[in-house]
Structure 1
Amino acid sequence: MASPKTSGNKVNNVDVVYTPWHNLKKTASMDAGQVGFHNPKQVRTVRVEKRINEIVNRLNKTKVERKPDLKAEREAVNAAERAERKLQLRDKKRREEMDRLEKERQTEIRSYKGLMLAENMTSNKQIASGSKSLQELEEDFITECLCLSVDT
């Protein structure tokens, strides 16, 4: 590394150290700008023999420093997560309601409540006064039963 009196921007034969950010270790006893490493095996060092001004100048031109509003970004992320959870909860409730309605419909189909209603029944007097004979009514009934058993 370069001595503290010279700037790293002007010297040749500089070692550049690469490591993932989570491998950096900073303790209170370290000086400003000094860091250590949790795992030395993750550290890579590249020696730069001669400074290439073209690259440095291009990097300086494209360098962008921004001061992010971390609180606002965190709130935006949290709001998006809340909206997603609300949407999932709404979809879940809608699916549960659809399932409940389908289950009720299936229960209604299987029940016998609608079979013995007074308005659907006919008395013997009505049959006798009608134009169909008893034999024709029995044939209609048997035909209807056969059609129902074929459908199910």
Structure 2
Amino acid sequence: MVFYFTSTAVDPPVTLFMGMDKFENEHLIKWGWPEDVWFHVDKVSSAHVYLRLNPGESLDSVPQTLIEDAAQLVKANSIEGCKMNDVDVVYTMWENLHKTESMEVGQIGFHKQKEVRKIRGEREQRDKEEREDKKKKMKKIEEQKKEEEKKRKEEAELRSYSNLMKEEKMKSNKDGGSDSDDFM
């Protein structure tokens, strides 16, 4: 028997379908609709969760909160996944699921791997952008510190007496100078 859940992560609430074991997952695979979005914990056994979109809706139009809600349902109903801190949840349109006779009950593949999305993958991209932004800010701060240090050294050099007694700046009154001891 397939389970039905109501997700209140969006308004109006939507229904999520879930298979509790591999036989129910197989049933969902067989009878899915082209508008269904399939969710599964990546690389470990888990329930299959389906979100039925309205005709004309695309995967890009699904709110992130609803995707996360379906992912939490999949993770919570995975024997191994529910015990893990970090899991990837993959999702794709039902039409992208590929099932052959040689596959075990409940097992699937994909027609196009590029159309499979990962929830943690999206989070990793966001975190990567955040790290790059942080690096840029730190680099800017380092450049400002170097510029300030350079400015301080220049100012210290101007105040220093070391530049006053250089030979090329000195003049002599010995040869040909008009040095007269006659003061009066």
TM-score (norm 2): 0.35
* Bigger Cα Rg: 1
TM-score (norm 1): 0.42
